[in-house]
Amino acid sequence: MSAIDPTEIFRQEASELFEVLEGALLDLGLRPDDRELVDSAFRALHTIKGSGAMFGFDKVASFTHEFETAFDRVRKGEIKPTQELISVALAAKDYIRALIEDPQSTDDVIGDAILDDLRRFVSSDQPVAPVAEIAEAPPLAPGESNQAGWHLYLEFESHVLRNGSNPLDLLEDLCKLGPCFVVPVTDGIPFLDELEPDDCYLKWDVKLHAACDKDAIDDVFMFVQDEMKLTLSPLEQIEAPPPMPLFQLLDEEPVPMAEMRALVVEAAAPVAAPPAAKAEPKSESNPEPKPESKRDDRGIATVRVQAERLDELMDRVGELVIAQARLTQLAASGSDLSIKMIAEEIERLASSLRDTTIGARMVPIGSLFGRFRRLIHDLSRDLSKPVEFVTTGEDTELDKTMIECLADPLVHLIRNAIDHGIEDTATRSANGKTEQGRIELAAVHSGAQVLVTVKDNGGGLNTARIRAKAEEQGLIAAGAVLTDHEIHQFLFHPGFSTAQTISALSGRGVGMDVVKRTIENMRGTIDLSTRPGQGTTVTLRLPLTLAIIEGLLIRVGEGRYIIPLSAVEECVELTADDERSRGRNFLNVRGNLVPFLRLREIMTASGAPDRHQKTIIISTGESRVGLVVDQIIGNHQTVIKSLSKLHSDVTIFSGATILGDGTAALILDVAQLVALAQSKIEKQHISEAA
Amino acid sequence: MALNPTEPKWSLRLPADCSIAAIRNVYELIREAFGRQERLEIDCSSVDKADVTSIQLLLSTARTGEAQGRPVVLTSFSQSLRNTLRRAGFASEAMIDQHFPQKKDGV
């Protein structure tokens, strides 16, 4: 096994922290009074700084430190985070990311300019937050108002140093609150053989001689509060003159040792036990300290695994499923009962292993949604169109490969929604709408599919203009009868754009066709719906995974094919009436007319058709189509194999799979078959009209 | 870092970086030296980067030496190491003496 590069681990962790930081900053723009967001942003910054320094990213550490310092007034509640300040903070975040991921692309001049901007914003006379909003801290309990200081006992979790936190910095911050007397507790230090060099064993007993409130102390430890035990109790009285602040002494180094000795007023013996052990009724612990065991459990609850290993695991499971299918077939052909039982057991285990493996590859779509908040923030600013961005269903899970493939199409759709969908503020006001537009990004499970929708409340599609453009480009004859839905499909035609001007964002007609192709390559579908003056909704229907699907195995002539089960609505028998309706190609399904395709004709199957033909009703979005087949064999766990480049122009198949007997079966591309059926209907319409 | 066997007592000079980034290497070095010598002298004059982990390692070394009856002596604390000790609360010479066995002429 190859050694793991620690800097790579830092990069991965930093990447996650950047998402947290960006999310917190963007939310802060919406909720400037939310202290939790400020804390969250600072925690992320602090960890990036600490880990950066630990892994030798000195520039990152120093820039982040400056960032933290400049942003400190926000943290203290002295100034409100304005949109301008958030924009600069986001630029600072981007710069730190570049320092980590591509240091060659960075320039100190840019970094300095960002920091200057940041300092300028935080030092300018911005409206100071109202006192009532700053003073969130609960009033001190009776008896605490005149207390002479605090007695603290600090105990950190063993891994705290590895996370980049430095207890010495925290002690230094604590000593800024007032005269501090710090005694290290060394009784937890093990012998060399048992020592983990980067674990934290030291604890500290601190007497803080300052009448500060508890919140000020909590602020010092806010970044590590989940990784430490802080026991806090008021000092009843000053038993001895307060010592000179330790770090004041350090600032004035070198200090003669004799002087230092004179300043220490307590015996130097280590404290044997924490004050908490005395269980004073008055002692005040951190709110609801979590049990140790629970925290330990959390430490091992997740394991970071390289994505390639998950891909490899999925491949192996795929091979296992194919081998299991062969075993099942072999067992079925013989009469040995025990072999049949083993085959069934292995089938059950393989199925369970497949589900577990697919589950391990699932990633919440929220990780993807988070990226678009920045996109919308920047586009909204650049186009001067205030936009509210709402997401729902972030917990909906999709295969990680799907998530990666989905990013670019969604960027296109969101850009289009803001650039073309949302009107400018003047138009919106004139139409009686709120000045702020709204874009909703939602994900929801629907059977074995995930529906992702991008919805805007803009002006909706201009059907007349799309039609005119389609006629101009010769895509339809002038005066042809088409439904609105059919006209809207021209938007997916390569090079089709109704935009009168080309902007940096969109209007070149490149995009929607690529979006459609990408979604269809993922075996998904895309659908548009619009209401004039009220907005447009784009719906993407996606399978949960790209690797293994549940399929329906069918036979047409001598060939066997797979239909993705998620697209199958029902199976019906082709009646004698339907049979007689050659040329009409419509089924009557409970009063609804459903067009059907005879797969024998499409596959040019030889031999006589079976006497009792079956029809499988499949659907994509709102369209339903029947597929007439010779035989429905049954469910089949389908391990998807890509077709070779030679078959790239065969559009009605999306892949292939290997069956239990070792032969191959082609997987039907449902969306393409539906499109084929629709074009046949159109031709039929035209011939009937003629 | 260097081990100097030509001197009457074996001495180990700690490297400049004794912070968490390099502490595992320092730990291995001390363990190796500990396994070889009856008496160990650790020269701290070159230490330029120190933090909590450096303090803990020195404390553990001293404690292990004491428990095994094998004297460990620390010499020539660098200013950087002293600062770190003070920041951690080892503010007085008496405290440092109590926890870290030093050769006085080396202080």
CATH topology of domain A147-270: Alpha-Beta Plaits (3.30.70)
Q: Choosing among A154, A156, A168, which should be mutated to test the B contact, i.e. which has the most B CBs within 10 A?
A: A168
Q: B20 — contact with chain A (CB < 8 Å)?
A: yes
Cα separation, A517 vs A551, in Å, equals 22
Q: Do B20 and A261 touch (CB under 8 A)?
A: no
Cα separation, A49 vs A164, in Å, equals 8
Minimum Cα–Cα distance from A162: chain B residue = B20
Beta bridge pairs of residue A208: A150, A180
- Structure token digits, residue A92: 């600072």
Contacts for A368 with CB less than 8 Å, ≥ 6 apart: A403, A406, A407, A410
Minimum Cα–Cα distance from B55: chain A residue = A202
Contacts for A577 with CB less than 8 Å, ≥ 6 apart: A588
CATH topology of domain A364-543: Heat Shock Protein 90 (3.30.565)
Q: What is the pTM of this model?
A: 0.50
Residue among A198, A169, A173, A171 at smallest CA distance from A185: A171
Angle value at C-alpha A63, between A61 and A66, nearest 5 degrees: 110
Single-letter residue type at A232: L
Cβ atoms of A185 and A203 closer than 8 Å: yes
Measure B50 CA to nearest chain A CA, in Å: 11
Q: What is the DSSP string of A84-149?
A: HHHHHHHHHHHHHHHHHH-GGG--HHHHHHHHHHHHHHHHS-PPPPPHHHH--SPPPPTTSTT---
Q: A254 — contact with chain B (CB < 8 Å)?
A: yes
- Please indicate whether residue A82 or residue A429 has the higher confidence score (pLDDT): A429
pLDDT band at A144 (very low <50, low <70, confident <90, very high): very low
Q: Would you list the domain boundaries of chain A?
A: 6-123, 147-270, 307-361, 364-543, 548-689
* pLDDT for A646 beyond 90: no
Nearest to A195 among B27, B83, B87 (CB): B27
Q: What is the mean pLDDT of residues A527-535?
A: 88
Q: Do A268 and B31 touch (CB under 8 A)?
A: no
Cα separation, B12 vs B41, in Å, equals 6
Q: Which chain A residues touch B64 with a CB distance below 8 Å? A: 191-193
Alpha helices in A480-565 (DSSP H): 484-488, 512-521
Q: Which CATH superfamily is domain A6-123 in?
A: HPT domain (1.20.120.160)
Q: Residue B12 class from Cβ within 10 Å (0-12 exposed, 13-18 middle, 19+ buried)? A: buried
* pLDDT for A264 beyond 70: no
ipTM score of complex: 0.91
Summarised one tens digit per residue, pLDDT across range A205-216 is: 888 887 788 888
Residue among A211, A233, A239 at smallest CA distance from A281: A233
Summarised one tens digit per residue, pLDDT across range A323-336 is: 888 898 889 888 88
Residue with tokens 């239909």: A563
Cα separation, A587 vs A572, in Å, equals 10
CATH topology of domain A307-361: Helix Hairpins (1.10.287)
Q: What is the mean pLDDT of residues B96-102?
A: 78
Task: Indicate the SS3 state at residue A570.
Answer: strand
pLDDT of residue A257: 34
Summarised one tens digit per residue, pLDDT across range A464-514 is: 888 888 888 888 888 788 888 888 888 888 777 665 544 544 544 447 888
The H or E element spanning position A285 is: strand A284-285
* pLDDT for A266 beyond 90: no
CATH C-level class of A548-689: mainly beta
Residue with tokens 């920091």: A115
Q: How many helices (H) and strands (E) does chain A have?
A: 23, 22
